[in-house]
Structure 1
């Protein structure tokens, strides 16, 4: 029994949408379906995954633009996340669509908001929910203790960190989220960012000049 995942870059922002599943039951979730729903549905079908939730890390359009369409095509699966502090982003999706040249995406609310300490389960797998404000106030990270794997949205990247110049972004909050909530999970944890290649927390602590530190052992 183990957690499996397939990253599918979507939209002209090359946003990493992740299909994540339990290889014993084939139940799974889709993390951040920003668009290109036809491509995502084809990959889900090819993999044979039974999607039980769509999970959102935050409310930016390139991460949520395909959510309702994909949920409909998958049989009205539940939409969970992000934290409710990002509701203003979800309610402003029509304006985001015009600003970024995306197809019109109407406002929506998830079936369930996520809070610090919540879990998302599928098959025999569990993702822990960690509230990580900074890039947006309601951003969450999803962490599999068993797989030593985190889906971090736009909090942290290979060699960089998330932008904080959007409404209600906060640079200090972002650094605090990374250093006090992600680093303690362990240097061996691999993370899938919202854009670009995967990395490990240990690699970023050594080489990412935005957040490098002395790497105390956790």
Structure 2
């Protein structure tokens, strides 16, 4: 007698697009972005590939949707970290800036495969709607530092590029095992020094 192969039950849900993205994130987290395919995601959800193609015309469209979701999650993680900082003065603005960087680094090192998908050239991100959320948090944080006189105008101009590049670089090095995660406070200290951040009471 032939043995039956266990299969997932048919998927019945009103939001298949969201389910496909969630399943894809699960697969990328486990196996990395290089091994992602619409067929594998369809099997994970329990639908036919043709059903998936109805929502995503190709793998690139799916990967871009994943990237958008992940950038949103990164921004939310940073917002939560900032919200935990009490106070509104100069010292609080510095602490918020530090926690924003810590949240980014923590996200990257805790989700290395998802981070590789976000920044490894796998997807085209809608900058206006998604990546800009994290970028705007950084912009607002730098504006707050400047408003409290913690950094001067010359340091404020182009500060986003300096900060993002440094934190992103450190995150990438840590993920690839080229920098101990415990060294990140030194990176953060160097960023503050390059911006001329002056601690204030």
Higher helix share: 2
Task: Indicate the structure (1 or 2) with the bigger Cα radius of gyration.
Answer: 2
TM-score tier, shorter chain, comes to under 0.3
Higher relative contact order (CA 8 A, sep 6+): 2
Select the structure that is richer in strand.
1
Q: TM-score, normalised by structure 1?
A: 0.25
- TM-score normalized by the length of structure 2: 0.27
